[in-house]
Structure 1
């Protein structure tokens, strides 16, 4: 992922609400959001090159998402994939520290990352840049892109403002929520003004190209937009997929009911649409 905004215990209906964009090379193979073939209680997109995920939920009440931390142009490859962090946390059990504390010993084997993990009871942030640390997040709205947690990057500010406005409009209504405004916010491709750009060591021109929430490019850009809404009995998982230059590739909207017994093949009320 390259942009995540999350509201934690900030709404009477949605204990957790998350919106996110994944930016990646369009040539890198990936599977659309769906049940994981090896652990069917897990649901999310899959990186078919390295086998991990950028955002994955569990029908046992867990969720994880990752962004890279941008420190100049790409450095030397690391032995482990950041996508494994997502799969590992989502597929684990027990409180977040049981998964995240042991990660300290091997955190240097991953390229710089920001990891967000929900264990059903708490929301925890972990990062290995500049050094490994974890932080339990307070209730409220948070964002992370390719810098520090809650850094006021233009794309992060736009995402948190859109999420906050949507939650205020949603109120406590139990009717089916219209997530179109959230997806519209994630589709914002207006570059930020130069004065507001971060300096991550990649040069002004590239900072400009990567500054909007939605990156439209023939080679590298936004591959999918995701909305996750966690409720008492399950979660809604919406994914909209894109190809080069923002070409629509399809959309899925699934309800994932919490499991109460042994994991079986995921059964979710689903609607999937192709363009």
Structure 2
């Protein structure tokens, strides 16, 4: 007898090739075809983060938006950081946070600035009365044809956004975090199975794995857990903004599940790591990769 409550993960979301498309970084959701699924209609909260106060970098779109929606529906207060050019996406995310009955805190600015990172922590604490959940999610990537073609200025931006900012933010936040707090980084399958065309991005994601494990060891005695999620190919504005329009149609089709993931399929991993259900989980890297191994 068939169990009609089961959902086939190979067909849960579209397996059709994505249309060829390209955007300038950082990319905007409304220009994507098809639009990503952030769990707007599907995620159901259960109060697992009630009373928590969260700051999510890159919370305007993609994985960050899915996490913001899920955290809000689980009862957390949510602040999101994003570039000023992403205001339209941030406003959309804010509307979904408000729809969950929470008052969103929008914090535009450039994460490559140490001062802005410090301000993000200060402003979140001032608005919410503290900070319990820090999600280090924002990232920058571009297609690199070869090592000779990496422009120094953009290489520096990758390093500052993907590596410097997490250190700046954690350094500012940790002195104010209490036992039971949680830090979650967004690493990547690229940390373990790097693509030559994403060499600098992959470098930073591998470094975040080391950062996660080292910080978990340091903060464990203080009752602060530190973990990472390693997404595989996920359909977010980062993809059409990477600079590989010819690669977009087959994006994600090389996974065992045969398709790209949607941001909504990441939300549960972040909620789990942020919640008390993961009270004995620290220093872990949780893969959400469509079956690709780490």
Tell me the TM-score normalised to structure 2 length.
0.28
Q: Tell me which protein shows more strand as a share of its residues.
A: 1
